[in-house]
Structures are given as structure tokens and as C-alpha cells.
Amino acid sequence: MVIFKHMNEWNIQSRASACEACHQPFADKQPLHTLLFDERAELRRMDVCQACWQNQFSEGARERKGFISHWQTVFAAPAPVVEPIQKDTAEMLLRKLIEQNDPQHAPAGFILAVMLERKRILKVKEQIVRDGRRVFIYEQPKTGDIFTVADPSLRLDQLEQVQRDVAQLLEHGLNPPAPQPVPEAAAAVEPTSPATEPETPEHSETASSSPAS
């Protein structure tokens, strides 16, 4: 476990479309190498092709300033754009939470990352410590994106509420529908007077009898 400080604890970094050393575009299914470096306030990733890795980085990479980690992966060409789905998936929701960077959603974001790890959608590539807190670096293998997620150190008695929050976010997203306003007619019902028996006309015996002959 490596200890670093002054790092942004919530972050997403996308995989490069070309080698940062020779600037040649990556082809679909081409092997490449990803390196992580600590640069003061944030992590910086570097994606290089196999040839540049062998020629420039394979020897002495760990001795470079700020080096944290390295792994090999395969470039995947971006998938065609599809119609957006109405309901957020766990991964889409995690991306939105990280982009929003709202501390109140940090526990929910951490639980989502753990869920995605268990489903093998995200993979832990590195674990570092900042000011006594664990920070996990996940990779989405299909897109190559790197997710930096801090551990909020949840207590057992907090898990149930956080899980409810996650379920609520997955169901309604970050902007849940506003409650329907009560119609004015129903909200301001005028008091009604006590019910009274309808008046009935009086019937006299003469009115109901036959006329005299």
C-alpha cells in the first residue's frame, strides 16, 4: 500500500486514443500499457503502446518521479452511440456522482463502486492512503476509464441507510420527480353547512280529493 497526500479523491480519467509517447492512434484490440503518476493535487495516467513501453518505460519506470502503478490492457474502439436509457445503471450513476463531487453522496458512490467491483464491471488496480483514508483506483476494462473513489469508513449502523439511498438514486436518479402539488380546489375546500331536509310542499286534503260534482 502506497501513501500519497494532496490528491483529488473523486476523479474519472478516460483512456487515451493514441500513445502519449509516439502519438500513434491505438487500433482496436491493440495491447497497451497504463502508468499512474502522482502529480501534487491529482493522479495522472499515461497510456503508451507496446513498442514505446519496451523502448522507453519497461526499465526504470518505477524510479520515475511520482510513479504509483502500472498494468497492461487492451484498447477497445469506442462503441457506437445508442439511445440513452431512461433508468440509470449503477455505472452511469457512479459517473454522475463523481462528476458532481457532492460530499453527501460519497457513501453512496463508494457502495456503487463496490457493487460494480463484485459484478466485475470495475477492477481494483491500486489502493493508496491519503490522510489516513483509503482511496481505491478502479478501472473499467471495456472503456479503460479510471475511477478514483475514497472509502468513507462507513459504520455498520450506517449501511442500511446508505443502501436505501443507493436504491433511491438508482430508481429516481439525482433529480427525483417533484411531489405533485395538491389541486387548489382540494386544498381549499369551503366548509359546508349542516345538511337539512329538503322542504316538501304541504298537501291539503282538498287538494288531493276529487272535485265535487
81-90 residue pLDDT tens: 554 444 568 8
C-alpha span between 97 and 173 (Å, rounded): 10
Q: Sorting pLDDT into bands at 50, 70 and 90, what band is 178?
A: low
User: pTM value?
Assistant: 0.64
2 backbone dihedrals φ, ψ, rounded to 5°: -100, 140
For residues 147 and 98, the answer to whether their CB atoms sit within 8 Å is yes
Q: Mean pLDDT throughout 190-208?
A: 47
C-alpha span between 127 and 69 (Å, rounded): 10
Higher-pLDDT residue of 89 and 175 is 89
Question: Is residue 187 over pLDDT 90?
Answer: no
For residues 5 and 150, the answer to whether their CB atoms sit within 8 Å is no
- Could you state, in order of their start, the residue ranges of all structural domains in the chain? 2-78+85-172
The pLDDT score that the predictor gives to residue 55 is 92
34-67 residue pLDDT tens: 999 888 777 889 999 999 999 999 888 888 888 8
Per the prediction, the chain carries an average pLDDT of 78
List the one residue out of 124, 125, 95 whose CA is nearest residue 108: 95
- 31 sits in which H/E element: strand 31-39
C-alpha cell at 45: 495516467
